[in-house]
Structures are given as C-alpha cells and as structure tokens.
Amino acid sequence: MSNPPVISIIDDDGSVRAATHNLVRSLGYAVHTFASPEEFLRSSHLGDTSCVIADVRMPAMSGLELQAYLLARGQSLPFIFITAFAIESDRARALKAGAICYLTKPFDGEALIGCLDAALEGKGATTGE
C-alpha cells in the first residue's frame, strides 16, 4: 500500500491550523502543522511534503517569503495560500511564483479540497474562489 501525500500546514493562528488539519486529515492525507515557516524549515518534514498550505501574513517570515526562499533553493513545492487580507499585490505575487490557489479566510472547505486536488494533480494556478 502506498503512503498518502504529506500536507504541511503553516499558520500562526492555532484555531486555523487545527481546523485545516482536521479537514485535510479527514481526506486521508498525512498532515503536519507548524506555527511558523521557520518551524517548518527546521522540521524533518520538508523533504516528504507534497503540498504546503500556508498563511500569507505571519510575524517573522511570511508565507510568500517562504515560497520565495524554497524556490531560490530549487525546491518547488505546490503552495496553497490562505489569508485574512485580500491584497491583490500579494495574490498576484503568489500566483506568479506558482501558487496553486489563493484563498481568503473564511474559505469554504470544498474550495480547499479543490485546491488540494489541483496541487496534487499538478494543475495550474487558480484563485480557488
């Protein structure tokens, strides 16, 4: 039996992390959660992550900065961004860098499921809305 894809969820809001974890885990994926991009980068799960779900705005390093950091090091992971701030320049930057989806909180669970399906099937970028 093959191992399920690993989804890493990075959000500084514990309630969002927990809710997203529960939804993604209910779909049969292996899930790891992190309170910051730095915690994710220090973890042993970077190499086995199939998709990253990340908040855009976090205290030290933003989700967008994490995406750029990984791309600069040749690590191209599918990213799904979630944010409470609908800032068009952030959305454009994320999608230009290859993000699969950019969802505004609160988002519909079905929208996230569609984004995960697209990310794991290697489909192109979408707003997810």
Instruction: Write down the domain spans for the chain.
Output: 6-121
If we measure between CA atoms, which residue out of 27, 34, 29, 31 comes closest to residue 11? 34
pLDDT at residue number 109:
92
CA dihedral 27, 35, 109, 67 (to 10 degrees): -90
Using pLDDT thresholds of 50, 70 and 90, give the confidence band for residue 105.
confident
Question: Averaged over 100-126, what is the pLDDT?
Answer: 87
Whether residue 128 has pLDDT greater than 60: no
Question: Averaged over 65-75, what is the pLDDT?
Answer: 95
CB distance 105 to 75 below 8 Å? no
Q: Which residues pair with 33 in a beta bridge?
A: 9
Question: Averaged over 106-128, what is the pLDDT?
Answer: 81
Using pLDDT thresholds of 50, 70 and 90, give the confidence band for residue 124.
low
Whether residue 1 has pLDDT greater than 50: no
Whether residue 17 has pLDDT greater than 80: yes
If we measure between CA atoms, which residue out of 60, 88, 65 comes closest to residue 52? 65
Mean pLDDT for all residues in the chain: 92
CB distance 50 to 79 below 8 Å? no
Using pLDDT thresholds of 50, 70 and 90, give the confidence band for residue 104.
very high
pLDDT at residue number 93:
95
CATH architecture assigned to 6-121: 3-Layer(aba) Sandwich (3.40)
Phi and psi at 5, nearest 5°, equal -60, 150
